[in-house]
Copies of this chain bind each other. A is one copy, B any other.
Amino acid sequence: MKILIAEDDVKLGGFLKKLFNSRNIEADLIDNGKDIAYYAQNELYDVLILDWMLPGTDGTAACQSLRQSGYQGAIIMLTARTTLADKITGFTCGADDYLVKPFEFEELYARTIALSRRAGSPFKHEVFQVAGCTFDCNSHTIDFKGTIIRLTAREFQIVELLARNHGHVLERDLLLDRIWGSEKDITSNSLDAYMRLIRKKLEKIPGKIFIHNVRSVGYRWEEEDV
């Protein structure tokens, strides 16, 4: 996991960086507002921690312009401002969370973790569970009671999306769009082909069916006995 800290108080910044590092979180530190966009676009951060007041461009302005340019990562706003109006401003400029100084590091850490979990960043080294299956996003494997299934990148992408929304039908178009993106023009049949590949691998787990089709709608992940 990697974060960006934009804080002009060098002492506080260094202190935060050190503490995050000690918890195995990489942290880049910058001391002004104008570099935020550059960093955010070139590195994939799980969370941006922005101080409200920064030389160059302040945190709120940076946050707003990032959002306008389509940035979707998680953002926590850090500030001494306590009034309600300020908090509202913080949220409306696109922040996901707002923490008032002085704060304790543990709370910032807890909020950072909570947010990165929720925001689902592309580099999330994570393991999650759905019903009896353990999904490892690093190794692209599913573990069902000791039976390990190795999936390719694409296969895992599809399975992950389905499993994270288990119990709900995901429409064909939604899947196509989420997996391949809107610009790339892919045959709808590719999805069928992948379902075939995935189902075949899942047969390694006998007596269970995971992928269900709802005709003319889409697919749903659900562990069901055959």
Contacts and interface: CB of A to CB of B under 8 A. Distances in A.
Interface stretch (A29-37, A159-167, A188-196, A201-209): A159-167
Interface string A116-146: 0011011101000111000000111000000
Interface of A: 70, 72, 74, 84, 87-88, 91-92, 95-97, 104, 106-107, 110-111, 113-115, 118-119, 121-123, 125, 129-131, 138-140, 152-153, 161, 164-166, 168-171, 174, 178, 214-217, 220
Contact of A74 (B107, B118, B152, B161): B118
Nearest to A112: B91
Contacts of A139: 169, 214, 217, 220
Given A87-B110, A91-B114, A122 B70 contact: no
B170 A130 contact: no
7 contacts: A72-B164, A74-B118, A91-B111, A95-B114, A118-B119, A122-B161, A123-B165
Copies in the complex: 2
Contact of A140 (B70, B123, B214): B214
A158 to B, nearest CB: 13
B122 A110 contact: no
- Overall SS of chain A's interface: mixed
B131 A70 contact: yes
Contacts of A178: 122
Contacts of A106: 84, 87-88
Contact of A97 (B114, B122, B171, B216): B114
Contacts of A166: 70
B153 A216 contact: yes
A123 B123 CA distance: 23
A113 B95 CA distance: 11
Nearest to A161: B122
A43 to B, nearest CB: 13
Given A107-B84, A138-B217, A153-B215, A91 B113 contact: yes
A2 to B, nearest CB: 15
